[in-house]
Amino acid sequence: MSARALRWAIPLAVVPVLALLAYGFRTDPRDIPSPLLGKPASPFALTAFDGKPVSLDALRGKVVVVNFWASWCVPACYDEAPSLERAWQAYRERGVVLIGVNIQDKEEPARRFLAQFRHTFPNAPDPSGRVSVDYGVYGVPETFFIDRQGRVRFKQVGAVTDELLKLQVEKLLAEPA
């Protein structure tokens, strides 16, 4: 190795390290692709806060939106709550079912949350955490869109908006049953 080559080689060795750091720091470590997209949604059977059974199996043939939330999830769960109720009101007649799954929470504040937003779609607690692990949930809120064949088609991490709910639900409704 000549002296001139060495003089360049040492500073140049920094380049791959910088490239790696630039890539690493510009990647969101919380943005983890779900391996569940396109796969059949895990069945679940829970008991809603109002005592009624909530099960995915009964909903085959419908477009299902499953929203995981917690009452302590401020502000994202509070931001999206009115949009969820609006989507339920707008789409329930068109064969869309919205299910709220309350995770990592206590019953009393969860009930207060539901009362505050006057949610009328089924909401059920998941006390063992089994449903949230089955859906690979790692934080709240997360929302899953399930098509009529029962496959997970889209996963939203963070609050949903009216636009996002409309876009995803309309897309699944447009597909042949």
Q: For binding to other proteins (CB under 8 A), which residues are involved?
A: 1, 3, 6, 32-36, 104, 128-130, 132-139
Question: Taking the complex as a whole, how short is the minimal distance between the CB of residue 10 and other proteins, in angstroms?
Answer: 8
Q: Which is nearer to other proteins, 115 or 133 (CB)?
A: 133
Q: What is the dihedral of CA 126, 128, 161, 76, to 10 degrees?
A: 120
Q: How far is the CB of 166 from other proteins (least distance, A)?
A: 28
Q: Cβ closer to other proteins: 87 or 137?
A: 137
Burial status of residue 148 (CB atoms within 10 A of its CB: 0-12, 13-18, 19 or more): middle
* Distance in Å, CB of 39 to other proteins, minimum: 9
Contacts (Cβ under 8 Å, ≥6 apart) of 120: 85, 88, 89
Cβ 99 vs Cβ 58: under 8 Å:
no
| Between 98 and 137, CB nearer to other proteins | 137
Report the sign of the C-alpha dihedral through residues 66, 71, 77, 83, in that order: positive
Q: Give the tokens for residue 108.
A: 């009393």
> Which residue's CB is nearer to other proteins, number 73 or number 96?
73
> What sign for the dihedral angle of Cα 123, 74, 141, 65?
positive
At closest approach, how far in Å is the CB of 139 from other proteins? Answer: 6
Q: Which is nearer to other proteins, 7 or 86 (CB)?
A: 7
To other proteins, the closest distance from the beta carbon of 132 in angstroms equals: 8
End-to-end CA distance of the chain: 69
Tokens of 44: 């679940």
